[in-house]
C-alpha cells in the first residue's frame, strides 16, 4: 500500500506499508498503516481517501467511518475505458495537471505502464508490461539455475561475461530500449509533450535512460497518483 499524508492541501510525507490482513475499525486506523510522525501525534481517527485496484483490500475499509473512495467517475479526463486501473488514471491526471498537457506518464511499478493524454484532456491510450523488478523476480523464481540479481545505479556491460551481468544486461537494456521506443513514437505525434516517470522504479529508470539516451528530457516524480487524488477530492 502506498500512503500519503496531506495537511491543508499540502503533501507532508509518503510511505509504504504491507497490505491489510483484517478489517479496519470504524473510527481508528491501525498503527501499522501510519508513519512515525502520525503515531507520535496519536493521529489515528483521521479522514482517509482510498483508491484501490485490489478489491479484497477495499472490502476491509468498508466500516471505516471517515472514508472516501475514488473511482474513475471522479476524474476529469475523457475517453477513459471502464476497466482502466484507477492508479494509472490518477497518475495521468495528476501528472498532466501538474506539469501540463499533452503528457505521457511512464509508471515503473510492479507493472511498467505507458499512459498518454492530449491537450484536450483525452486519454489517448497506453500499454502494460511486467515491471523492471518483476522481470528479475520472475526469472529467478521460474528457473532453477539463475540467481537473484539486484539493480545497480549504473548500466551493466551490454555484452556480459558472467551470469549476473548477463541477466542485468538482458532485462535492463531491453526494458529501457522499449521505453525509449514508446517515447519516440509518442513525440512524433505530440512533440511538445511532458514525459514523466513515476512509481517505485522511477528514479533508477531515469538514471538508466539518462545514461543511454541523453537527448530526451524526462522528469521523475513518484507522487503523481497522490496529486491526482488531491485533484479528485478538490473537484468533489
Taking only the tens place, the pLDDT of each residue in 74-114 is 999 999 999 999 999 999 999 999 999 999 999 999 999 99
What is the model's pTM? 0.91
The mean per-residue pLDDT over the stretch 45-61 comes to 91
The grid coordinates listed for 149 are 540479481
Spell out the domain ranges in the chain. Answer: 2-69, 79-223
Other C-beta atoms closer than 10 Å to the C-beta of 174 total 11
Q: With cut-offs at 50, 70 and 90, classify the pLDDT of residue 44.
A: low
Catalytic residue among 8, 36, 74, 87: 87
Is the Cα dihedral 130, 90, 82, 233 positive or negative?
Answer: positive
Phi-psi region of 79 (alpha: psi -120 to 50; beta: other; left: phi over 0): left
The set of residues, in sequence order, having a beta carbon less than 8 Å from that of 24 and lying 6+ positions away, is 30, 60, 61, 63, 64
- Residue 87: active-site member: yes
Fold classification of 79-223 is: Nucleotidyltransferase; domain 5 (3.30.420)
Amino acid at each position: 500500500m502506498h500512503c500519503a499524508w496531506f495537511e491543508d492541501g499540502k503533501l507532508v510525507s509518503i510511505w509504504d506499508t504491507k497490505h491489510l490482513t483484517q478489517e479496519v475499525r470504524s473510527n481508528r486506523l491501525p498503527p501499522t498503516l501510519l508513519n512515525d510522525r502520525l503515531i507520535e501525534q496519536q493521529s489515528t481517527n483521521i479522514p482517509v481517501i482510498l483508491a484501490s485496484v485490489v478489491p479484497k483490500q477495499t472490502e476491509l475499509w468498508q466500516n471505516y467511518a471517515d472514508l472516501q473512495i475514488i473511482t474513475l467517475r471522479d476524474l476529469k479526463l475523457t475517453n477513459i475505458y471502464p476497466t482502466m486501473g484507477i492508479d494509472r488514471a490518477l497518475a495521468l491526471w495528476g501528472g498532466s495537471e501538474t506539469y501540463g498537457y499533452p503528457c505521457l506518464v511512464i509508471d515503473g511499478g510492479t507493472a511498467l505502464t505507458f499512459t498518454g493524454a492530449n491537450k484536450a484532456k483525452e486519454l489517448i491510450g497506453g500499454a502494460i508490461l511486467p515491471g523492471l523488478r518483476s522481470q528479475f523476480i520472475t526469472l529467478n523464481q521460474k528457473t532453477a539455475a539463475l540467481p537473484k540479481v539486484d539493480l545497480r545505479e549504473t548500466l551493466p556491460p551490454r555484452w556480459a561475461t558472467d551470469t549476473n551481468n548477463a541477466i542485468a544486461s538482458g532485462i535492463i537494456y531491453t526494458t529501457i530500449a522499449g521505453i525509449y521506443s514508446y517515447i519516440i513514437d509518442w513525440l512524433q505525434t505530440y512533440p511538445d509533450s511532458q514525459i514523466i516517470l513515476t512509481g517505485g522504479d522511477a528514479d533508477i529508470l531515469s538514471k538508466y535512460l539518462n545514461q543511454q539516451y541523453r537527448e530526451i528530457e524526462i522528469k521523475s516524480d513518484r507522487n503523481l497518483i497522490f496529486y491526482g487524488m488531491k485533484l479528485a477530492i478538490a473537484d468533489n
